[in-house]
Amino acid sequence: MVMTPVAKGMLIGVSLGPGDPELLTRAAWSALETAQCWAWPVVREGAESYASSIVQRTSLNPPATTLPLIFPMTQDRARLTQHWDQAAQAILRVLHSGMDVHFLVEGDASFYATYRHVERAVRALDPDLISRVIPGVASPLAAAGLSGRALCDGDETVAIIPATVGMAAIEAVLDRFQVLVLMKVRPVLQPLLHLLEQRNLLHKSIFVERAGAPQQQVIHDVSSLKGQDVHYLSLMIIHNHEGEAGLGMKGRQV
């Protein structure tokens, strides 16, 4: 008797939005509803997962197979490589059994997310990996919705960068763009506030932490954050311009 080989499963990055389960797309909901395996990142064994906590606040039931994967918060390259390899091997075992793996991602899977790192690690072990992404609401857009004003308008230019690039790089971007979204502000919050004060931008800045989650914070008086610690899922929107936007009128005759 000839055995038919089992078809490999697909790795799917499922974007969940930044925290509010109501922001799951219909595509994400449908995929999770019929999934055979959910995977999600944790910083250590037994730790809570922010991504899985979003799904826990829905009526969706987890499948029989779940796969918490450890990705520690460390700069130790050797340790990181070891955990990436272990996670990739665990995912491959499920894929080679014929099941798809739905990897849960807060925000959008292609926007400062763990998913693409996971995908590369798995593909390094199996170049024939089949994968896809279900896009979702990225945190800057959710934060803008909570801020009470448009993220950008008219002819305004927008830059989105990690605050960890340093103050000199942030200053250079502020000189070129009218709206700046800074991700990963926690490690550099205090020097960032000092920079904004020097440039008279404190009153034009909005801080948003864990957008859409029960613990979300939206702070318009960012000077109140001096000396404070914040959650790692936080960002700053800086409106680095005066007055109203051009409203797309540039070059038009009136």
**Per-residue pLDDT tens for 22-52?**
999 999 999 999 999 999 999 888 888 999 9
> Is 3 part of any domain?
no
Same domain, 193 and 122: no
Dihedral pair phi/psi, residue 170, rounded to 5°: -65, -45
Q: How many domains does one find in the chain?
A: 2
CATH assignment at residue 27:
3.40.1010.10
Handedness of CA 240, 163, 49, 125 (dihedral sign): positive
Same domain, 151 and 130: no
DSSP label at residue 49: -
Cα 207 to Cα 54, 93, 130, 210, 221, distances in angstroms: 21, 42, 38, 10, 8
Record the tokens describing residue 139, joined without a space. Answer: 């945190």
Same domain, 173 and 201: yes
Same domain, 123 and 146: no
Same domain, 17 and 129: yes
Residue whose entry in the numeric block shows the structure tokens 């690039």: 165
Same domain, 184 and 147: yes
> Is 82 part of any domain?
yes
> pLDDT tens digits, residue range 218-254?
999 999 999 999 999 999 999 998 755 444 444 444 3
> Is 165 part of any domain?
yes
Alpha-helical regions (H) of the chain: 26-34, 50-56, 77-96, 115-125, 139-147, 167-174, 189-198
Same domain, 149 and 122: no
Same domain, 151 and 117: no
Q: Judge whether 70 and 45 are in contact, CB under 8 Å.
A: yes
Using the predicted structure, report yes or no on whether residue 1 has a pLDDT greater than 70.
Answer: no
> Is 4 part of any domain?
no
Q: Judging by beta carbons within 10 Å of its beta carbon (0-12, 13-18, 19+), is residue 200 exposed, middle or buried?
A: exposed
> pLDDT tens digits, residue range 93-113?
999 999 999 999 999 999 999
Same domain, 40 and 121: yes
Residue whose entry in the numeric block shows the structure tokens 């490690």: 187
Boundary of a domain, candidates 134, 153, 183: 134
Q: What does the CA dihedral 62, 211, 216, 201 come to, rounded to 10 degrees?
A: 160
> pLDDT tens digits, residue range 165-222?
999 999 999 999 999 999 999 999 999 999 999 999 999 999 999 999 999 999 999 9
Whole-model pTM over 0.85: yes
Boundary of a domain, candidates 82, 107, 134: 134
Residue whose entry in the numeric block shows the structure tokens 């932490």: 209
Q: What confidence score (pLDDT) does residue 45 get?
A: 85
> Is 160 part of any domain?
yes
Same domain, 120 and 62: yes
Domain coverage including residue 163 = 139-239
Boundary of a domain, candidates 83, 99, 134: 134
Same domain, 162 and 227: yes
Residue by residue, DSSP assigns 133-183 as EE----HHHHHHHHHTS-S--TT--EEEEEGGG-HHHHHHHHTT-SEEEEE
> Is 245 part of any domain?
no
> Is 251 part of any domain?
no
CA distance 75 to 201: 32
Strand order in the sheet with 158-162: 158-162, 179-183, 234-239, 205-209, 217-219
Record the tokens describing residue 172, joined without a space. Answer: 């250079």
In 3D space, the residue among 233, 208, 210, 226 whose CA is nearest the CA of residue 218 turns out to be: 208
CATH assignment at residue 193:
3.30.950.10
Same domain, 15 and 129: yes
> Is 163 part of any domain?
yes
CA distance 125 to 100: 17
